[in-house]
């Protein structure tokens, strides 16, 4: 059965650490803190939104646990504030997509409630069966 995907929010930027990574020569990495560990399906939606929403600067973004790591070329520093706005837009669009997907899921609360009642009924004799 499909499950609800948690949305996520940006908490802030880690201003205490700049990452130098040989895999991204000339770029400086920084991390954006998320409110919680990103669900794998939220990550997939984020990656899709990041590809679909246009922006002149599109550095690589790695999502691990509750962090976005971005390797940004200093030559584009004048566009950094606009790029950060873009990342916020991507997170909002990701959450919009996740909310739409979650809203389309069937409400199975009645079926779960019925099953729980059946389980309670069946469990009344369960200790006797185990003896």
Give the SS3 label for residue 8.
Answer: coil
pLDDT one-digit tens code per residue, 112-129? 788 888 888 888 877 675
Question: Bigger pLDDT: 85 or 105?
Answer: 85
Cα dihedral 2, 7, 13, 17 in deg (nearest 10): -20
pTM: 0.80
Least confident range from 6-15, 21-30, 83-92, 118-127: namely 118-127
**Cβ distance 88 to 10 under 8 Å?**
yes
pLDDT at 106 over 60: yes
- pLDDT level of residue 6 (50, 70, 90 thresholds): very high
pLDDT score of 129: 54
DSSP run (H or E) holding 10: strand 10-13
Q: What is the mean pLDDT of residues 94-119?
A: 86
**Dist. CA 60–CA 70, nearest whole Å:** 6
């Amino acid at each position: 059965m499909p499950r609800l995907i948690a949305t996520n929010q940006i908490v802030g930027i880690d201003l205490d650490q700049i990452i130098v990574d040989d895999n991204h020569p000339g770029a400086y990495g920084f991390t954006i803190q998320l409110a919680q560990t990103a669900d794998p399906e939220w990550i997939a939606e984020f990656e899709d939104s990041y590809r679909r929403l246009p922006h002149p600067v599109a550095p690589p973004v790695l999502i691990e646990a509750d962090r976005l790591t971005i390797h940004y070329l200093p030559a584009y520093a004048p566009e950094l504030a606009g790029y950060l706005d873009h990342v916020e837009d991507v997170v909002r669009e990701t959450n919009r997509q996740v909310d739409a997907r979650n809203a389309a899921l069937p409400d199975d609360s009645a079926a779960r409630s019925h099953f729980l009642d059946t389980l309670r009924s069946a469990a009344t004799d369960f200790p006797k069966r185990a003896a």
